[in-house]
Structure 1
Amino acid sequence: MTRSIDTAMPENRENSLSGRPQGNDSGYFITLPSPVGGDDHLHLAVNVSDRTVLVDHESVLSVEPGDLVITGARRPALRTGGEVGLALFRVPFSLLDASAADLRKVPHTHLSGRSGLASLVSQFLTALARTPGRERLAGGQRLALNTADLVALLVDKVLQEQRPACAGAGHDMLVRIQSHIEDNLTDPDLSPESIARAHHISVRYLHKLFQAGGTTVGAWIRQRRLDACRAELRRQRRTVASVAHTWGFVSPSHFSRLFRQTYGLSPRQWQAAASSDS
């Protein structure tokens, strides 16, 4: 018997993890809440059964117990042979530390759940899928955010592995520059000029390195700062202005506008949503 699974489903607006059975089998949809209405989602399936499941998308995958299938497609559909033993998770893009453009490029990727980070994610999500719905709901926003953080680590690994190898020297230089930026995000004077000077390259060459990856130096710095502020706002009870200043934003009002444009909520709204279940 073949079952089709369409991952489109009504949005859940509660600050918690929700799920429902898929038919009369062991498959579940589990949706992490999005603080931004209409957010795109990453879809992740875990084989929670004790048997191999055949998954047919563009090719047939033999998904062993504990294996994962991940995709950033807007509306992916999976066809499985036999009884479905998949737990299906939807994670809002806004909860992952990557751009929506990068996440949409993630193809159907099959990951072995036997070792490494994928094994850790698989074990956590399998346990979560087997947790009664009432207990998942009781975990609220905190459980959802912790789940998203773990999935974000896996997504980052997938994206890193799928990026084409750049010309050796250029790629190595870009990695060093990105590490330098991460170490200096709190410096309000961080700029293309200061970065180029620190690495003894021209500003023009610096821009060329980032353009090869489909972004700009300024956009990359801004997004990393926003991601850092978002993470801090949901975990600490500091003022918005204080957090913005810590991460290199000179103007709190400018920061608030950028935050709303990026995540669909003001920093205060995001902080309030994150603390509602604390």
Structure 2
Amino acid sequence: MSRAPEREVRQPAGIRPASASEWLVEIRSGIPSEGNGTFLYLGMHVRGSATSVREGVRTVLEPHDLVFCDPARRHLLQFGDDCRMVFFRVPRGYLGVTESELDRVVGVPVRGGDGLGALVSDFLSALADKADLRRPRPGDRLARTAVHLLSVLLMELLETGMEGEEAEASTVGGEMLSRIRCFIEERLMDPDLSPEAIARAHHISVRYLHKLFQNEGVTVSQWVRRRRLESCRVELGRSNRRFTVAAVAHRWGFSSPSHFSRTFRGAYGMTPSEWQSLATSAVADAPHAA
């Protein structure tokens, strides 16, 4: 048996695509080549022998297992001669994750046999195998769905890792943080949601609240802003519901439309209007039946 070659994950240079279906599905049997950091890749193991190596820990990948890849970070994949993996790429800005968060998830295998991993793996497998799903009209819609799934998968990886750290540090603190997250989710539309209000509702100091969030790599305010931005992004991406950007921003707690637009662009690399237009571009451009 030949020795599995050890290769560093690299990615190709990319330009911003015209439609979601053009950039989401890029089927490859080899590692993406080096690029400018525009894209994050999700590798899905199809067959053969493959191993993910992260911080010296080797994990054998099974068919349907998933792993996020970013050439800017030290992460190795080992392939056997019979190996085939499919790589999906997505503009990093669309996922709204920080550099410190990427450090925590790149190279971490996700089992594709059950739970959220199975859901994502099955969806991406169908998207890769069925070319008709990648036609412009359904392709853009399904690509946006895939982006949402990848965002959920990233958040799950981050929260799972953080829960392990919290369990070791303090079970009570972990339970408190979980309650605080639920509290925030239920009140994202409240423009007065602030660290002071959150701390007061849980009978803790603002200082302790910030301490609970320090493992997130973001402040409490940044976490609230990110969850609001994600909610706005999902709502603006619904092609069957047309609201103005200002109305969506106001509904999710942003009092200034101009501030919201700047914040959205900073997180996702495009304006809210540009993101919203992706939801209808495929439908508008598609030929209508006579």
Q: Taking structure 1 as the reference length, what is the TM-score of the superposition?
A: 0.82
Kept after mapping to 2: 8 A contact 1:95/1:145: no
Q: Using the alignment, how far apart are the partners of 1:275 and 1:204 within structure 2?
A: 45
Gaps of at least 5 residues in structure 2 are: 284-290
Residue 210 of structure 1 corresponds to 213
Matched, 1:184 2:183: no
Q: Give SS of 1:109's match.
A: coil
Distance 1:263 1:117, change over 3 A: closer
Residue 18 of structure 2 corresponds to 14
Q: Using the alignment, how far apart are the partners of 1:155 and 1:254 within structure 2?
A: 26
**Equivalences for 1:19-30 in 2 at 5 Å?**
22=28, 27=29
Kept after mapping to 2: 8 A contact 1:72/1:105: no
Shift of 1:45: 1.6
Residue 274 of structure 2 corresponds to 269
Residue 151 of structure 1 corresponds to 150
Paired amino acid for 2:95:
L
Q: Using the alignment, how far apart are the partners of 1:135 and 1:202 within structure 2?
A: 51
Matched, 1:74 2:104: no
Q: Using the alignment, how far apart are the partners of 2:279 and 2:209 within structure 1?
A: 37
Gaps of at least 5 residues in structure 1 are: 31-37
Distance 1:243 1:200, change over 3 A: same
Q: Using the alignment, how far apart are the partners of 1:198 and 1:109 within structure 2?
A: 35
Matched, 1:219 2:222: yes
Find 2:51's aligned residue among 49, 55, 71.
Answer: 55
Q: Pairwise CA RMSD of aligned residues?
A: 2.7
Q: Using the alignment, how far apart are the partners of 2:62 and 2:197 within structure 1?
A: 49
Q: Taking structure 2 as the reference length, what is the TM-score of the superposition?
A: 0.79
Write 1 or 2 for the structure with the bigger share of helix.
2
Paired amino acid for 1:14:
A
Kept after mapping to 2: 8 A contact 1:54/1:62: yes
Shift of 1:112: 2.5
Kept after mapping to 1: 8 A contact 2:39/2:92: yes
Q: Percent identity?
A: 41
Q: Give SS of 2:216's match.
A: coil
Find 1:243's aligned residue among 241, 248, 269.
Answer: 248
Write 1 or 2 for the structure with the bigger share of strand.
1
Find 1:196's aligned residue among 188, 194, 199.
Answer: 199
